[in-house]
Structure 1
Amino acid sequence: MENVINKVVLSGYAGADAEVKTFGSQKLARVSLAVHDAYKNAAGEEVKNTNWFTLTFWNANADLAEEQIKKGTGLSIGGRLRQSSYDAKDGSKRYSTDIIVTELAIKDTGAKTAF
């Protein structure tokens, strides 16, 4: 069987301060990451696009995210994708894809952390 890789590398800017929640002894921090993209369309006009990703940090990594990631902070991250589903209040099934962050470099300070 071939090796299977689940690896994501992104560079962008935090859309908001880290949102932190505690579940018993577990701590979770989520941060939205804006990644800008630009290309030229068929008419030769530049088209700018922003993609949003949800970054997830757990426990001690959540503490680090809470302390160091504020809106507008430049981030380069490495991690893995995790898909999940849940039932919304209206009864519909919802799906989400998060990035579990395993490597973090904060552009503003140059600090690098591998979890």
Structure 2
Amino acid sequence: MQNIAEFRIIGRVGKIEIKDKVAFLDIAANYSRKVGEEWEDDPHWNRVTLIGKNAERVDRIGKGDLLHIAGRVRQSSYQREDGERVFHVDLIVERFATLLRSENAREEG
């Protein structure tokens, strides 16, 4: 059996950043939490990485669009000159679908 580390996010696009053949999306997923007697939205931001064909598809999405994203988790580390070990987690998108287009995104472009 193959060992895997996967993620799944359903959330809205915040920021889109494209660098060469790689794209980065900031995605907000909302959770509810109780504050006193009321329930409030508690957005959690995730930065995901798109490469290859997925990066090429980024031009089809806009800020505010609701996406379903799935992919793999890649963890890496390096050692700084001062000896401190730094860990980093990448969320690599393997597939995504637009569930709902934002009205704001249509007006902008």
TM normalised by structure 1 equals 0.70
Higher helix share: 2
- Equivalences for residues 69-108 of structure 1 within 5 A: 69-85=61-77, 95-108=87-100
Show structure 1 runs of 5+ residues with no match.
110-115
- Equivalences for residues 17-56 of structure 1 within 5 A: 17=16, 19-22=17-20, 27-40=21-34, 43-56=36-49
Cα-to-partner distance string for 1:4-59 (whole Å, 9 max, x where unaligned): 22111110000123x1112xxxx100000000000335x54424311111111112
Higher strand share: 2
The answer as to 2:2 corresponding to 1:9 is no
**Would you say how many aligned residue pairs link Structure 1 and Structure 2?**
99
2:3 alignment partner, SS class: coil
Show structure 2 runs of 5+ residues with no match.
102-109
TM normalised by structure 2 equals 0.73
Check whether the contact 2:12–2:28 (CA below 8 A) recurs between aligned residues: yes
Check whether the contact 1:53–1:98 (CA below 8 A) recurs between aligned residues: no
Root-mean-square deviation over aligned CA pairs: 2.5
